[in-house]
Amino acid sequence: MISPHPPLRSFGRIKSRAIKPAQAALIDTLLPSIQIRFSDVGKVEPDKDFKGVQDVWLEIGFGGGEHLAGQAAAHPGVLLLGAEPFLNGAASALRHVDEQALTNVRLHIGDARDLISGLSDATISRVFILFPDPWPKARHHKRRLVSSAFVAELARIVRKGGTVRFATDWADYANEALLTFMADAAFSWRAEGPADWRDPPSDHVTTRYQQKQLGDVAPVFFDFERL
């Protein structure tokens, strides 16, 4: 059940500029057909989208949807779930889904933690957390998405042998996230050398945010395996 007293928001604004008419139309026409449904108690409702699907992947904070759409196009047999509270980003993702005629994408427009709490145990094979809001000021670090409680929830929903990919271009967030995941016995980081975290993974899809280079270091990529 979604808590009546949710944790601090880990994201900032939920809308900026006016949404383009074509994308606004997709919110009315396309979104209802691919929106993740919840029951009255906040659980994700099992439906035909999940039946018979062997792999379900989750992207937390999909931004403009470039990575989400790229992974869905490259893996048509995988169901891609995406969570994003920023309405402009959601509208952009809908455009990608529409233009590429993707049928294996389902979206939650809101806090990813609500979606995660509604998922059954061991539902997800891969999780992507790419360049989450860094909250760079020290007094705002408590708003960062990655925490011990959050990692524990990921351990609940990720299948054994599944992975969580975390990427950031802020040095202190990279260190904090690495220590937090390593402190949870459910996850293992099996990097063998600097290239394992400095080089983008071979299946990575570059995002617009990544290209802006707003952080204080080059992008860092961590892949954690669920034990």
Selection from 122, 163, 129 nearest residue 145 by Cα: 129
What are φ and ψ of residue 111, in 5° steps? -65, 125
| HSE-CB of 163 using CA atoms within 13 angstroms | 10
**Annotation marks residue 133 as catalytic:** yes
* Residue 223 burial by Cβ neighbours in a 10 Å radius (0-12, 13-18, 19+): middle
The token pair at 154 is 């990921």
Would you put residue 128 in left (φ > 0), alpha (ψ -120 to 50) or beta?
beta
Catalytic residue among 133, 184, 216, 223: 133
d(CA 159, CA 91): 30
The DSSP symbol for 169 reads S
Active site residues: 133
